[in-house]
Structure 1
């Protein structure tokens, strides 16, 4: 590709604002971005963009909402992950932008949340906190900045395998009512005494 084509490619990209694609007087919902790009934009700029993916135009607040929705993390744990107070996380959710390093971390964790969401892992929050790597969880590895992409893939594939095993087991289809036979009626030291 020539320098001219490269500059054309970058200078003629559509401006993406929030969830709308804005151009010369028209607004389009980004739900249809792929169709619009191929049909109306790509042939006009004269450059085929190979391997391009849909741009991630979410704000920091939307990334944090995604993380909380997938991993079910309270504000305190989010603050702990990013080494800030929960008040800082609340500010980010209200629209204040964090510094570049924190913004990159939030974006990275949101992409991991997207991987969990698209893979269909049911209890992503619990899986995110299970200690599997030398007594460390994905949560702890992310916090320590030592999380690798293959770690996430490994945990997701294992969680999907366990869920498939559960689906095929008799436990899912059991019609037996829950029972209390497993409970102990003996006194536990320091516990309440039975009547």
Structure 2
């Protein structure tokens, strides 16, 4: 309210729209995706909500919990591309694992739409992070390694599906894969003049890699 020269009070209509706009913007940021997210877990859900929300998150990162490490700013489309390029899953199989149609999956891949289920988005992100680890370690046949039944009859993708912590498992898988490849190359070189292959690795189960209950 403002006071006129005559002493009467009158409203300032410009303030109401501004306040309303701020309220709407805040509401969009907190619940525009149809779900609530903890600021502490910003690294986990940022890639899921960023395509839908155009607000910067730098201030939240600076004042939030920094124990989660670098913030992953990739979109779901980028995560899917990473998974497809590195792990080379069948799109039909991946769609089945996610409980969606292939058409919906291709829309996510193209960026035309986004998953409305944070669980599905989280699964894609974890697969992408697995792909990152294989790429960082220089694993040449990540598709084969990701399907190897090395953990009590389970693959590392099976562990991700179950929601298990796969971080130590992938390190073991990478270390053993290097040793197995060296052994395989030596076996190929000493026993045959043909080009060395890594097809023998597909049925290997790493000794002592059983998952603890």
Band of TM-score, shorter chain: 0.5 to 0.7
| C-alpha distance in structure 1 between counterparts of 2:90 and 2:182, whole Å | 29
Which residue in 2 is equivalent to 1:176? 193
Which residue in 2 is equivalent to 1:98? 115
Which residue in 1 is equivalent to 2:141? 123
Q: Does 1:113 align with 2:131?
A: yes
- 3-state SS in 2 of match to 1:171: helix
| C-alpha distance in structure 2 between counterparts of 1:84 and 1:156, whole Å | 31
Structure showing greater radius of gyration is: 2
- Which 5+ residue runs of structure 2 have no aligned equivalent? 1-49, 57-61, 196-213
Which residue in 1 is equivalent to 2:80? 64
The TM-score, its normalising length taken from structure 1, stands at: 0.57
- 3-state SS in 1 of match to 2:188: coil
| C-alpha distance in structure 2 between counterparts of 1:97 and 1:152, whole Å | 28
Which residue in 2 is equivalent to 1:77? 93
Q: From the two aligned structures, give the one with the greater helix fraction.
A: 2
Whether the 8 Å CA contact 2:115–2:121 is kept in 1: the answer is yes
| C-alpha distance in structure 1 between counterparts of 2:194 and 2:144, whole Å | 26
The TM-score, its normalising length taken from structure 2, stands at: 0.53
Question: Residue 104 of structure 1: CA displacement?
Answer: 1.7
Query: Paired residues, what number?
Result: 134
Which residue in 2 is equivalent to 1:89? 105
Which residue in 1 is equivalent to 2:8? none
